[in-house]
Structure 1
Amino acid sequence: MSKKTPIKPYKLKNGDTRYMFRISLGTDPLTGKQKNTTRRSFRTIGQAQLAYDRLKYELHNGTLKKQQFNTYQDVYEEWINDYKGNVEKSTFDKTTGLFKNHILPAMGDYRVEKINYQLCKKHVNEWMEKLVRFNMVKFYASKVMDEAIKLNLIETNPFKLVETPNKRIKNKMEIYFTREQLIDFLNCTENEGDFKKYIFFRLLGFAGIRKSEAFALTWEDINFVDNSININKAIGYSKDNGLYVKSTKTGETRIIKMDSKTMDILKTWQEKQFEKLQLLSFNVNQPKQLVFQNAENKHFQPSRTWGWLNKILTEYNLKYMTTHGLRHTHATLLAEAGASLPSIQQRLGHSGKDTTTKTYIHVTEKMKTDTLDMFIEYMDY
Structure 2
Amino acid sequence: MATIRKRGNSYQIRVSCGYDTSGNQVVQTMTWKPADGMNKKQIEKELQKQAILFEDKCMKGQVTANIKFQDFAEQWFEEYAKVNLRPTSYARMKQLTKRVYPAIGHKRLDKITARDIQKFVTDMLVNGKNMNTGKPLSRKTAVHHLSFISDVFSYAIRMGMLTDNPCRRVVVPKSEQEEKQIYTLDEVKTLYEHLKDEPMKYQVYLLLAIYSGFRRSEMLGLEWKDIDFENSLIHVRRTSQYTKEKGIYTDTTKTRKSKRVSKFPPSIMNLLKQFRTEQAKEAKQLGTKWEGHDRLFTKWNGAPMNPQTPFEWLQGYCERIGIPFRNIHSLRHLHASLLIFEGVDVVAVSADMGHSVVGTTLNLYSHMFQEARARNCDAISNALSFTNEVKVKEEKHSEDSTEGTYEDEDEQEEEQFGQVFGA
Shift in alpha-carbon separation, 1:305–1:161, aligned structure 2, 3 A? same
Match for residue 231 of structure 1?
236
Q: Which structure 2 residues correspond to residues 159-170 of structure 1 after superposition, within 5 A?
A: 159-167=167-175, 170=177
Corresponding position of 1:261: 267
- Indicate yes or no: 2:76 matched with 1:76: no
Amino acid at match of 2:88: S
Answer yes or no: is the 8 Å Cα contact 2:182–2:331 preserved in 1. yes
- 1:198-209 correspondence runs (5 A): 198-209=203-214
Aligned-partner SS, 2:287? coil
Question: For 2:329, what is the secondary structure of its paired residue?
Answer: helix
Matched residue of 1:164: which SS? coil
Asked whether the 8 Å contact 1:186–1:201 carries over to 2, the reply is no
Q: 1:135 to 1:32 in 2, by over 3 A?
A: closer
Distance (Å, rounded) in 1 between the aligned partners of 2:122 and 2:316? 35
3-state SS of paired residue (1:280): helix
Aligned partner of 1:301 among 300, 306, 319:
306
> Structure 2 unaligned runs (5+)?
1-52, 130-136, 363-423
Q: Could you tell me which residue of structure 2 aligns to residue 88 of structure 1?
A: 86
2:329 and 2:189 map into 1 onto residues whose CA distance is 17
Q: What does the per-residue CA deviation read over 1:233-287, in whole Å, with 9 as the maximum and x for residues that have no partner?
A: 001223333111110111452111112211111111111221222122259896x
Q: How many angstroms apart in 2 are the aligned matches of 1:347 and 1:284?
A: 34
Provide Cα deviations, 1:70-126, integer angstroms capped at 9, x if missing partner: 211233133222122112222212212222x22122211012232223321221123
Structure 1 CA distance, aligned partners of 2:213 and 2:351? 11
Match of 1:274 among 262, 273, 280: 280
- C-alpha contact 1:222 1:228 (8 A) present in aligned 2: yes
Q: Who is 1:177 aligned against?
A: 183
1:31 aligned onto 2:29: no
1:243 equivalent in alignment to 2:268 = no
> Which residue of the other structure, out of 97, 107, 111, is the alignment partner of 2:108?
111
Aligned twin of 1:18: none
Residue 282 and residue 271 in structure 1: after superposition, are their counterparts in 2 closer, same or farther (change >3 A)? farther
Q: Secondary structure at the match of 1:240?
A: coil
Counterpart of 1:236 in 2: which secondary structure? strand
What is the CA distance between 1:330 and its match in structure 2? Answer: 0.9
Whichever residue aligns with residue 152 of structure 2, its letter is V
Of the two, which has the highest radius of gyration? Answer: 2
Provide the C-alpha distance between the structure 2 equivalents of 1:255 and 1:269, rounded to a whole number of angstroms: 20
Instruction: Give the fraction of aligned pairs with identical amino acids, expressed as a percent.
Output: 24
- Normalising by structure 2, report the TM-score: 0.63
Structure 2 residue aligned with 1:144: 152
- Matched with 1:310 is 315
- Whether the 8 Å contact between 1:179 and 1:333 is mirrored in structure 2 is no
Q: Distance in 2 between matches of 1:240 and 1:221?
A: 28
Q: 1:340 aligns with which of 322, 345, 356?
A: 345
What is the rounded CA distance, in whole Å, between the counterparts of 2:302 and 2:167 in structure 1? 47
The 8 Å contact of residues 313 and 320 in structure 1, kept in 2 or not, is answered as yes
Cα distance, 1:157–1:236 mapped onto 2, change above 3 Å: same
The alpha-carbon distance between structure 1 residues 290 and 162, as it changes in their structure 2 partners (threshold 3 A), is same
Report runs of 4+ in structure 1 exceeding 4 Å deviation: 32-37, 66-69, 151-155, 282-286
Greater per-residue helix proportion: 2
1:157 is matched with which residue? Answer: 165
Q: Return the alpha-carbon distance in structure 2 between the equivalents of residues 330 and 125 of structure 1.
A: 35
SS at match of 1:354: helix
Between the aligned partners of 1:343 and 1:314, the Cα distance in structure 2 is 35
C-alpha distance in 2, partners of 1:334/1:179? 14
Deviation, 1:183, is: 3.0
Higher relative contact order by CA 8 Å / sep ≥ 6: 1 or 2? 1
1:209 CA displacement: 0.5
Equivalent residue for 1:57? none
RMSD: 3.0
User: What CA distance in whole angstroms lies between the structure 1 residues aligned with 2:291 and 2:160?
Assistant: 59
Deviations, residues 333-365 of structure 1 (Å, cap 9, x unaligned): 1111111111111111111163999xxxxxxxx
CA distance in 2, matches of 1:165, 1:32: 36
Query: Are 2:238 and 2:253, in contact at CA under 8 Å, matched by a contact in 1?
Result: yes
Q: Name the amino acid aligned to 1:75.
A: F
Match of 1:120 in 2: 117
Instruction: Give the conservation status (yes or no) of the 8 Å contact 2:297–2:305.
Output: yes
Distance 2:205 2:173 in 1: 35
Residue 220 of structure 1 corresponds to which residue in structure 2? 225
Shift of 1:68: 6.5
- Which shifted more, 104-113 or 291-300? 104-113
